Amino acid sequence: MRIRSKYKRPTISSYVGMKCTMPTIVWSLVGCLLVLHLYSLVRQKERTGEMQLSLGNRTLFQELLVVEEDNIQIPPPRGKRSPRAAKRRPKKPISLIDEFLDENSQIRHIFFPGERTAIDPLNEDTSNKSYYFPGRIWLDTEGNPIQAHGGGILFDKKASTYYWYGEYKDGPTYQVQKNAPARVDIIGVGCYSSKDLWTWKNEGIVLAAEEKNETHDLHKTNVLERPKVIYNDKTGKYVMWMHVDDANYTKASVGVAISDYPTGPFDYLYSKRPHGFESRDMTIFKDSDGTAYLVYSSEDNSELHIGPLTRDYLDVTNVVKRVLVGEHREAPALFKHRNTYYMITSGCTGWAPNEALAHAAESVLGPWETLGNPCVGGNKMYRLTTFFAQGTFVLPLPGVPGSFIFMADRWNPADLRDSRYVWLPLIVGGKADWPLEYNFGFPLWSRVSIYWHKKWRCPF
């Protein structure tokens, strides 16, 4: 039986006959405003609560947003100063960064905890299972400290596996000359695989140093830093880009390598100065439409350059933009959320930590706007030193839009192989700052926050 609407449909003639009286216009406007308000409320709710998480995991997620303070007591200075010396120069208070940089500091164990506290996924008691402890030694499935510094992670859909690539630095640290930066000879690019982002299996050195040929870019006396790998869906190849340099950092080039498999071996192709410019700290970023970009510090690290790669990802095109000009930023790590691009960068102080900044843009090629220091929690010195570390990569957390893992290196210039990993949750969201006066200075970016936690785990 057909059910008839009990409401009589208005006929065209009734519309035509409708009079546009003042109250009608006012009420229509009020209606429109109400609809708009409701829409913005729904969008806001979507933005803040879009997790596809179970209730238990939501609790874990909320824990990530807790601001955790960490007050470290600076020990009294060792040894007595003579009264004359004390008079000559007012005693400069020792700061936490001095302690961090002092290899003999009494509180060194806070920044570089010893083997006893190492994260050992195969041996960890259940209460610590799946927990990240920023700064602790992190063992692979063979019980060796993970060697993947300045690294990045590729999620391989085919194998449903994460691959972590980074500098394999398990060699002696030395200086080529006084005042030169501490270094380890190139050993190669280490690769580790994981299903859960916590238990990592060593897949070996997937791009090795050249031992004999001194003219080779990867001769052990040169520099290979910040390797990153992306997959090309069209060619089916895994493509690695890296910073290639000589020991004095004057070559300032990028190197490119290719493989049929995520676990290599990678064939080294060539190096170049992209777009004819110096290139030091760098990263690559693959956008959701498959276009990939190279981002590099240039012009004496005073600015960043961003340009798309060719379709096969083996070269740059001739399109390039200068961004954050005169800002002196390096260690770029790019990521995307809801059609906005974000980037975390560091200042340029070599192996010493400094303040991170977050930036945002509506297009990868810019313009980029600086949002400020994203670090939350710890203490002031933690926030001014990126938790005593330097960013290298930002990895989206699966199933939790707007949530990422911020990967950073706590460099140990006295023994670079013992540099530590600082992984922390990075969240895009929450209320953005509003301009003091109403204006059309849109867009208003979401907040980017990296939360300090002594111990934390992914909410999945």
Binding interface with ligand GAL (CB under 6 A): 150, 181, 225-226, 281, 330-331, 348, 350-351, 390
Q: Closer CB to ligand GAL, residue 226 or residue 305?
A: 226
Amino acid code (one letter) for 357: L
Q: Closer CB to ligand GAL, residue 420 or residue 453?
A: 420
Q: How far is CA 183 from CA 219, 222, 416, in A?
A: 14, 10, 7
CB of 362 to ligand GAL, least distance (A): 27
Nearest to 257 by CA among 299, 321, 307, 315: 315
CB of 226 to ligand GAL, least distance (A): 6
Q: Closer CB to ligand GAL, residue 278 or residue 330?
A: 330
Q: What is the phi/psi pair of residue 421, to 5°? A: -100, 135
Q: Closer CB to ligand GAL, residue 150 or residue 378?
A: 150
CB of 253 to ligand GAL, least distance (A): 13
Q: Closer CB to ligand GAL, residue 120 or residue 330?
A: 330
Q: What is the dihedral of CA 52, 54, 56, 58, to 10 degrees?
A: 20
CB of 167 to ligand GAL, least distance (A): 8
Q: Closer CB to ligand GAL, residue 282 or residue 376?
A: 282
Both tokens of 223, joined, read 């520099």
Q: Closer CB to ligand GAL, residue 225 or residue 303?
A: 225
CB of 412 to ligand GAL, least distance (A): 12
CA distance 100 to 112: 9
Token pair 């994981």 is at which residue? 194
CA distance 119 to 127: 12
Q: Closer CB to ligand GAL, residue 274 or residue 459?
A: 274
Q: Closer CB to ligand GAL, residue 387 or residue 460?
A: 387
Q: Closer CB to ligand GAL, residue 333 or residue 458?
A: 333
CA distance 364 to 309: 12
Q: Closer CB to ligand GAL, residue 118 or residue 348?
A: 348
Buried-exposed string 71-108: b where 16+ CB fall within 10 A, e elsewhere: eeeeeeeeeeeeeeeeeeeeeeeeebeebbbeeebeeb
Amino acid code (one letter) for 65: L
CB of 219 to ligand GAL, least distance (A): 17
Q: Closer CB to ligand GAL, residue 385 or residue 403?
A: 385
CA distance 62 to 68: 13
Cβ contact 186:219 at 8 Å = yes
CB of 213 to ligand GAL, least distance (A): 23
Q: How far is CA 5 from CA 8, 9, 12, in A?
A: 7, 9, 18
CB of 331 to ligand GAL, least distance (A): 5
